[in-house]
Amino acid sequence: MESWLKESGAVGLNDLELADFQVTGRGIRSLQYYKEGETVLTIPSGILWTVEHAYADPLLGPALRFAQPPLTVEDTLATYILFVRSRKSGYNGLRSHVTALPTSYSSSIFFTENDLEVCAGTSLYTITKQLKRQIEEDYAGLVARIFGQHRDLFPHDKFTIEDYKWALSTVWSRGMDFVLPDGNSIRLLAPFADMLNHSSEVKQCHAYDALSGNLSVLAGKDYKVGDQVFINYGPLPNNRLLRLYGFVLSSNPNDSYDLVLSTHPAAPFWEQKQKLWISAGLDSTCTISLTLTDPLPKNVLRYLRIQRLDESDLSVIQVDATDGIINESNEVEVLQVLVDSFCGLLKNFGTQLEMLEEQLAASVHPPGGNAWAAAHVSLGEQRVLRLARKRAEDLLAAAESGRGRRGDLSPPARCAKCDKVSGPFMLCGRCKAVNYCTRACQVAHYKEHKAVCRVISTTSKNGSRMK
C-alpha cells in the first residue's frame, strides 16, 4: 500500500510506519520528531474514497446512477469498498488498501445477545437493536435496487449481508467528515491515514483542503521518535465510540445519556405547544444529551414546562417565560415527572452500577472484550442518570419549599451522603462538585463518588482508546 501511496503523491510516509501497540493494536509510529502543528501526512485527492470517485468509476458509476432512489453516502461508500474488494484484477492500489483493513470489527452490531445484555437499559442497547433491523432492511433494498440488477458486477457470494455489515463498519470507523466552505459536507476514507488511532490528549488535527481536495494530518502534540501518532475523533461518549468505532474509554469524561422527549400530536393543545417548542428552538420530539457536567440541561426543563401547560397558562404564556419557572404547580409537576422518569430509566438497566463495578473489579467480564466494553457504557450512562435524578430531586425540594416562587432555581446545599441540608458544609477537595457535612460522611460516600469525582475533575484529560 505504501508504494502505491508514494507513487500517487502522498507525502510524509518516509517518516511514519505501521506498527502494533500494546493497548491500541495496529497504529502509526513516528520515525522523526514533530512539533505540534507540523504537517505529518498528506493524502492526495485522487486516491481518497469518496462518493464522487465512486460515481466516476467507469464500471461502478453507471450502476450507481441506475439505482432509484439514489444510495445514501454510507451505502455508496460501502458498495464502493465491496466492489473493489471483489475485483480479481485492476484497482491494484485501492485493493492494497482494502487488504490492509481489519477483517472484522468489534462495534456493537457484532455483539452476541449475551454481550449486548450487559448494557441492557442503555441508549446503546436500544440503538443497536434498531440498527440491526435497519441494516437488514437496507441490505434487502440494495439487493432489489442494485446488487440483484447487476450480478456481473456484484456477485452474490461477495455481497452478502455479512459483507455489507463489514463494509458499513469500515465506513463508520474509518470515515472522516468535513463541512465545506459552501455549507455542504463530505465524507471520505483516506488510505493509511485511517490507521491513526484516537486519543483525547491530542488536539483535533486532520483537515480537508476543499480547493485541492487533499487530506492532511497535523501533529496534535509534540512527538518523539517511536511515539504513536494519534488523531482526535472528538468529545464522544462511550455509547457512540463503541457503536461506531468498537472501543471505549475507561471513565470517559464525555459520557452522556440521550434523553428522548416526545409528545403525541393527539395530546391536548398540541398545536399551540408545538408553536412554543419551535419558538424555543425545540420540537415535539427532541433528543437532548445529559452529560456528567450538565446532567439536567435547561432545554429539558423548558420542553417539559411547555408540555405541562394547561389551557389557562397557554392563553397568556410567552415563549421567553418558559426559560424560567412559569408557576409553582407547573414546576413541581415537571420536576416530579423527571424524578419518576429517571428512577424508571435507572431501574431498566439490566445490571445496576454497584454490581457492574464489582464485576469489573473481579474481571467477570474479560478486560478488552465485548461484555467488558458494554459494561463501561452502562456505567457511564447510569452515572449520568444518577446525577440527573439528584439534580431533579434537589430542584423539586427547592420548588416545594417555596423558594421556586422567588425564581431561585439553585438546589439547596446538602450533604451528598446523608442529605442533611443545614450547614456548615465542606466541598470535595478534588471535584468541588459535592458537599459533605462531616469528614465521616465524606469517607462513607467515597466508594460511590470516586468514579464520578475522577471524571468531573479530569474533563480535559483522558487516555487513549481502550478496545
Taking 50 as the threshold, does the pLDDT of residue 70 lie above it? yes
Please state whether the peptide bond connecting residue 424 to the residue before it is cis, i.e. omega within 30 degrees of 0.
Answer: yes
CA–CA dist 204, 208 (Å, integer)? 12
CA–CA dist 42, 299 (Å, integer)? 42
Taking 70 as the threshold, does the pLDDT of residue 82 lie above it? yes
Mean pLDDT confidence for 220-240: 95
C-alpha cell at position 131: 440498527
Burial class of 161 by CB neighbour count within 10 A (0 to 12, 13 to 18, 19+): middle
Cα atoms in the 13 Å half-sphere on the side-chain side of 379? 28
Mean pLDDT confidence for 93-97: 96
pLDDT of residue 412: 59
**3-state secondary structure (DSSP) of residue 20:** strand
CA–CA dist 160, 334 (Å, integer)? 49
CA–CA dist 311, 95 (Å, integer)? 65
**3-state secondary structure (DSSP) of residue 380:** helix
C-alpha cell at position 54: 465512486
How confident is residue 323, by pLDDT bands cut at 50, 70 and 90? Answer: confident
* Residue written as grid cell 427547592: 398
pTM of the predicted protein model: 0.84
CA–CA dist 287, 252 (Å, integer)? 21
pLDDT of residue 422: 63
pLDDT per residue as tens digits for the range 110-164: 999 999 999 999 999 999 999 999 999 999 999 999 999 999 999 999 999 999 9
Strands 228-231 and 197-198 turn out to be: parallel
275 Rama class: left (phi>0) / alpha (psi -120 to 50) / beta: alpha
pLDDT per residue as tens digits for the range 370-409: 999 999 999 999 999 999 999 999 999 999 887 545 445 5
pLDDT of residue 433: 72
List the beta bridge partners of residue 387.
none
pLDDT of residue 420: 72
- Is residue 451 a contact partner of residue 379, using CB atoms and an 8 Å limit? yes
pLDDT of residue 451: 62
How confident is residue 457, by pLDDT bands cut at 50, 70 and 90? Answer: low
Taking 70 as the threshold, does the pLDDT of residue 465 lie above it? no
How confident is residue 463, by pLDDT bands cut at 50, 70 and 90? Answer: very low
CA–CA dist 155, 230 (Å, integer)? 38
- Is residue 235 a contact partner of residue 292, using CB atoms and an 8 Å limit? no
- Is residue 319 a contact partner of residue 325, using CB atoms and an 8 Å limit? no
Instruction: Among 106-110, 231-235, 406-410, 438-442, name the one with the lowest average pLDDT.
Output: 406-410
pLDDT of residue 446: 80
pLDDT of residue 442: 82
CA–CA dist 16, 191 (Å, integer)? 14
How confident is residue 349, by pLDDT bands cut at 50, 70 and 90? Answer: very high
What percent of the chain has pLDDT above 90?
A: 79
How confident is residue 452, by pLDDT bands cut at 50, 70 and 90? Answer: low
What does the DSSP assignment read for 73-130? HHHHHHHHHHHHHH-SSS-HHHHHHHHHS-S---SGGG--HHHHHTTTTSHHHHHHHH
Mean pLDDT confidence for 196-214: 92
How confident is residue 247, by pLDDT bands cut at 50, 70 and 90? Answer: very high
Burial class of 359 by CB neighbour count within 10 A (0 to 12, 13 to 18, 19+): middle
